[in-house]
Amino acid sequence: MLCSTLMRRKLMVIASLLGLVCLSCFWMFTRAVIANEGCSDGQSRQYLEELCTNYSRGLVTGSLCTPLCVQQDIQFSRCIGHGVKPHVLTALWRDTRIIMKAAPGDIGIEQLFLPMESSQDDFSITKDKFIEHAKVVQTSIYYEISRVNPQSVTRMIERVVKECDIGQDNMLTIAEVTSCWMLLETKEYSFYQLLKGNSALPELLGVCGNLYAMQYSPSEPFLGFLTNWFEVRNWKFRVQLALGLLEMVKTLERTEFGTVYLCDIQESNFGVVRRVDGSLIVKAIDMDISFFDRSLIMQIEYEQNNTCSSDKECDFIACHVKCDQRRKQCSGVLSSSNLRSICTRIFRRTYSYQPALLLNPPKRIAGQLKTLLDQCGQSESPHLDWMLLNQLQTLLTDSIKFL
């Protein structure tokens, strides 16, 4: 009887281990499929060749075009994009690794000039006139920025135009206008320009047509942790990643335009840069599904079919809004925050079987950390968020002082 019981337990343990192995293999296989979906080095090289051809024909321009197309100081490495963003490339600019992203859509320019009633051969426009025209046409990010701060629209457009105006003569050629327009139609690039200098975002390095280069901030440190169940990185490294995420959250809470909400919280959307002192800076490297707080509330309140019977029906990926039970409509009250999403989706896993970043902490802090993460995952108070964030920073910092 005892032998039979022991045998059953052994079989259960073996079955559990086999289950973990299968899940791990499935997860790694899924990641490999996703990572390669829509990503082809051959297509990327073809895209770059077409871009340089358009540059040589005088159809596009930018500070990146000469080193990319003439001097060939920028050497393509590989494609890392997938899905709706196939042209996300790594490259070497002399000895520095960079990321290059292409704005979606064709490089074609015909549609741009129809409203301006100008021919291609003799086309030119003053910078001020182009800015006014851009505000009238209202690019994809125009509505979001104008909701937050209408005056910022001009600033954002001016920054993009400055990047495209190679002659710096306040007159824009056909190539300069085309390049500006395609970039203004790209939410992520416009976002980066508006928040230029924010330490939570990668530094922009230049443009060529609809291609923009940015600081290399790889997400591999996060993804490498996720894809290996049986070799969890040491606690100090994981705490450095966690502290970097917390510092990023702080930075995005206090921009001059309000809080930036990241509504697609997953490890592949964060990159890591190492400081000289060895500490890590975490960057938000994919801003396509990000919103300023007021813009997010207005989008959910006025633009979506926002009838609801529960809070869950008002969810927008990782961003959550309260359902007004009296009106049966999604309200203007946000019930989530970047901190709460990171606590539940990365620090500890509420929605996934993947290993959590703060898995298996040292025993001396395990109880206190669990309490803080429990509170963090339930917090709906901005004031409480700040308290929890500071407490998490202190606890995690202290946990690696002597490691």
State the CB neighbour count (10 A cutoff) for residue 93: 18
Per domain, the residue ranges of the chain are 38-216, 220-399
Q: Distance between CA 108 and CA 104 in Å, rounded?
A: 12
- Find out whether 68 and 74 touch, Cβ atoms under 8 Å: yes
DSSP assignment, residue 384?
H
pTM over 0.85: no
Q: Distance between CA 337 and CA 267 in Å, rounded?
A: 17
Q: Model confidence at 331, in pLDDT bands (50, 70, 90)? A: confident
What is the predicted pLDDT for the residue at 138?
59
Which CATH class name applies to 220-399? mainly alpha
Report residue 212 as tokens: 């923009």
Is residue 6 scored above 70 in pLDDT? no
Q: Distance between CA 126 and CA 263 in Å, rounded?
A: 38
Handedness of CA 135, 138, 139, 142 (dihedral sign): positive
pLDDT digits (tens, 9 = 90+) for 90-109: 999 999 999 999 876 554 44
From residue 107, alpha-carbon distances to 45, 59, 186, 307 in Å are 15, 9, 13, 40
What is the predicted pLDDT for the residue at 304?
55
Q: Distance between CA 341 and CA 377 in Å, rounded?
A: 7
Q: Distance between CA 265 and CA 271 in Å, rounded?
A: 12
> Which residues touch 17 (CB under 8 Å, ≥6 apart)?
none
pLDDT digits (tens, 9 = 90+) for 212-222: 999 999 988 88
What is the predicted pLDDT for the residue at 271?
95
Q: Distance between CA 145 and CA 154 in Å, rounded?
A: 10
pLDDT digits (tens, 9 = 90+) for 150-201: 777 888 888 888 888 888 888 898 889 889 888 888 888 988 998 999 999 9
